[in-house]
Chain A
Amino acid sequence: MDHPHDDQLAAWAAGELSEERERGVELHADACPACAARLTGFAKQEQALFAAAEASQGRSRTPRIPGWAWGSIALVAVAAAAIVMLRPASSPPSTGAVEAVVQIENMGRDCSLRADIAECEEEAANQGLWVPSAPVPRYEAEQACTDCGRSG
C-alpha cells in the first residue's frame, strides 16, 4: 500500500473506513514510522473532537439565566448566607455523607477505578511497602493494591 493520504488517516481516526481499508491503514502504519506519526496526529485531533463535543454538551445542559434574574439571585444568596451564619453549630454528617466518604476511600484503594499510579503508590508508601524515590516500585502488589497486578 502506498503511503495513505491525509483523508484516509482522518477517516481511520473517525472510524469511517471499511474494515478492509482500516486494516490496510493499520498494517501500513505499523511498518512505516512516518505514517504512524501522522496517524497519531489525526488520532489526537479525534480526541480533540471528543473534547469539543463534551464541552459543547456541557454548555447545552447549563441553564441560561437571564440578566434581569441575577439581582434576585444575589438577594437570595445573601439571605442564605445570613441564615447559615446565624444557625447553631453544624450537626454530624448524615448517613449518606458518611457512606459517600467510605465509597471514595474504597475507590482510592482500587487503581482500576482511579487508574492512577500515584494512588496505588501512595497507598503502598503509606503501608511502608515502597520508597517513593526508588526508580522501580518495590512492593507486594497484592498487599498495596489487589488490582494492579504489578510486582516489585
Chain B
Amino acid sequence: MSPARPIASERNVEVRAEAGDEDAWNTLIERHNRRVVVFLVSRGLRPCEARELAQEVWMRLVTQQRANKLPRIELPGLALAQARFLHLEAIRREKPVVSLDQARAIQAPAAEERALDRIRLGRALEALDGCGARDRELFEAAYGPDGPTHDALAARFGLSLQRTRQILCAVRAILRTALEE
C-alpha cells in the first residue's frame, strides 16, 4: 500500500533537488530530518547517535545526487531506506564477526512481533474509524509524506492553530491507547 503522492509543492521541491538545487535540498532536509531521527531512535539509537546518523543519511543522498545516481527523489521513503541501510552497516562495523543474517536478526522484529504489529495496526485503524471524518483526514494529512507544519494544516482545514493541535493530540491519544492494548 503506497503512501499518498506528495502535494504539488513537495514534488516541485523534490524535482529541484533532483536537479541539484541546494536550497531545495535544504528545504527537504528541514522538512524530513526529524522523521529520520525519530525513525532511528525507534530502532534503539540514542538521540545523539540518531542525529549523527541522520546527517550521514543526507550527506549520502546529496553525494549520490551529485553523482547522478538519484534519478528520482521521493521522501521520506528514500531517506528512511538509506537510514535503515546505514544503521545496519553501523551494527556490522561494531560487531565485525556478525554475519548478515545475524545483523538482520538484530534489526528485524521477530515473527511474533510482526504479527502483533499487524494486530495493533488493525486496532489503530478501527480506532481511527471511530474518529470524525475531518479529524481522521487531519491526522492523515499531519502524518502524510510531505510533513506539513501545524500552521499549514490549520490553513488547509480552515481551523485555528490551537484547534488543530487539540484534534491531533486527541487522535494520537486514541490511537496510542489502541496500540497499547
- For B117, the chain A residues whose CB sits under 8 A away are 48
The count of A-to-B residue pairs whose CB atoms sit within 8 angstroms is 131
One of B41, B64, B89, B179 near A150 (C-beta < 8 A): B89
B9 at the interface (CB under 8 A from A): no
A50-B143 in contact given A13-B38, A56-B128 (Cβ < 8 Å): yes
Complex Cα–Cα for A136 and B92 (A): 8
CB-based contact B46/A57 at 8 Å: no
B11 at the interface (CB under 8 A from A): no
- Interface residue tally for chain A (C-beta within 8 Å): 50
A112-B64 in contact given A26-B47, A60-B140 (Cβ < 8 Å): yes
A55-B98 in contact given A112-B60, A116-B85, A150-B89 (Cβ < 8 Å): no
A129 at the interface (CB under 8 A from B): no
- Min C-beta distance of B98 to chain A, whole Å: 7
Complex Cα–Cα for A6 and B18 (A): 40
One of B81, B97, B124 near A52 (C-beta < 8 A): B124
A99 at the interface (CB under 8 A from B): no
- For B121, the chain A residues whose CB sits under 8 A away are 48, 51-52, 55
Nearest residue (CB) in B for A112 is B64
One of B136, B144, B179 near A48 (C-beta < 8 A): B179
Complex Cα–Cα for A36 and B88 (A): 20
- For A112, the chain B residues whose CB sits under 8 A away are 60-61, 64, 69-70, 82, 85
CB-based contact B143/A43 at 8 Å: no
- Min C-beta distance of B170 to chain A, whole Å: 13
- Min C-beta distance of A75 to chain B, whole Å: 28
CB-based contact A117/B69 at 8 Å: no
CB-based contact A46/B85 at 8 Å: no
Task: Please provide the chain B residues from 158 to 181 with a CB less than 8 Å away from any CB of chain A in the complex.
Answer: 165, 168, 172, 175-176, 179
One of A53, A121, A135, A147 near B97 (C-beta < 8 A): A135
- For B38, the chain A residues whose CB sits under 8 A away are 13, 15, 43, 46-47
One of B42, B43, B85, B165 near A111 (C-beta < 8 A): B85
- For B2, the chain A residues whose CB sits under 8 A away are 58
Complex Cα–Cα for A45 and B177 (A): 10
CB-based contact B89/A135 at 8 Å: no
Task: Please provide the chain B residues from 69 to 83 with a CB less than 8 Å away from any CB of chain A in the complex.
Answer: 69-71, 78, 81-82
Q: What residues make up the interface of B, taking CB atoms closer than 8 Å to A? A: 1-4, 34-35, 38-39, 41-44, 46-48, 51, 60-61, 64, 67, 69-71, 78, 81-82, 84-85, 88-89, 92, 96-100, 103, 117, 120-121, 124-125, 128, 136, 139-140, 142-144, 165, 168, 172, 175-176, 179
- Going nearest first, the 3 A-B pairs with the smallest beta carbon separation are A53-B143, A115-B81, A43-B42
List 17 extra interface pairs beyond A29-B47, A40-B43, A52-B125, CB under 8 A. Answer: A26-B48, A30-B48, A39-B41, A43-B38, A44-B42, A49-B124, A49-B172, A54-B4, A55-B121, A57-B144, A112-B60, A112-B82, A113-B69, A114-B81, A115-B81, A135-B98, A149-B60
